[in-house]
Chains A and B, each alone.
Chain A
């Protein structure tokens, strides 16, 4: 399965609660990413990190937070400030990207978050 895991597979939370999604990889990849996928839409980048203790906002970072304290781990917190958090969340990792060279991103199995 590519050595990248996400847990849990399904997550239910009440509106107004923060929730943290786990992402772990044992591929020794430097870069990690969080995407959100809504029905009938492509993947949208929330946050990415190319190195430990550093991360950048993607297109839809509002209402989300991340940390990168270890190379293997990149947890995503969905805060109460996220207006429509119900979605499928995908984590990915890759070797370090450069401006002109793309290295394939490998995806985890995803977490389906439902806010009641």
Chain B
């Protein structure tokens, strides 16, 4: 079945710097890749997504890139702010199911 690996598990960046989180997937039939943000004790919230027919998508300070050949996709956050501190999850949609990465804890240092 599908497997999603996410790196790094923890990322600490200076406020104002950029953050990049990377994921790889195994099922070439996967066609949708969302990114979720989860604050401590709260529910996951969708922040951006990309479909398999698109290589890049941007929404203000966040962007996602997809390389179908290499089966990896990445989340980019620019000009990081304190409110970006959270756990970020990537996921892959395959065979009616969302398969989730293990998460990246993003720490924004003041």
* A-B residue pairs in contact (CB < 8 Å), sample of 20: A40-B9, A40-B102, A40-B103, A41-B102, A42-B4, A42-B6, A42-B89, A42-B102, A42-B103, A43-B100, A48-B96, A58-B97, A90-B43, A90-B44, A100-B31, A104-B34, A104-B46, A105-B98, A107-B44, A109-B42
Question: Contact between B97 and A48 (Cβ–Cβ < 8 Å)?
Answer: yes
Total residues of chain B contacting the partner, CB 8 A: 24
Docked complex Cα distance between A107 and B37 (Å): 12
Instruction: Say whether A99 faces chain B, with CB atoms less than 8 Å apart.
Output: yes
Q: Are B98 and A99 in contact (CB under 8 A)?
A: no
Pick the contact of A97: B42, B91, B96, B102 (CB < 8 A).
B96
Bound complex: CA of A111 vs CA of B61, how far in Å? 32
Binding site for A on B (CB under 8 A): 4, 6, 9, 31-32, 34, 41-46, 49, 89, 91, 93, 95-98, 100-103
Docked complex Cα distance between A107 and B43 (Å): 6
- Name the A residues within 8 Å of B103 (CB-CB): 40-42
Say yes or no for A85: interface residue by CB 8 A criterion.
Answer: no
Kindly list chain A residues whose C-beta atoms are within 8 Å of the C-beta of B89.
42-43
Give chain A's interface secondary structure class.
loop
Q: Which residue of B lies closest to A99 (CB)?
A: B96
Contact A102 B44 (CB under 8 A): no
Cα distance A100–B31 in the bound complex, in angstroms: 7
Task: Judge whether A44 is part of the interface by a CB distance below 8 angstroms.
Answer: yes
- In the complex formed, the residue of A with least CB distance to B90 is A42
Cα–Cα distance between A110 and B44 once the two chains are bound (Å): 10
Decide: A44 near B44, CB < 8 A? Known: A100-B31, A102-B32, A102-B93: no
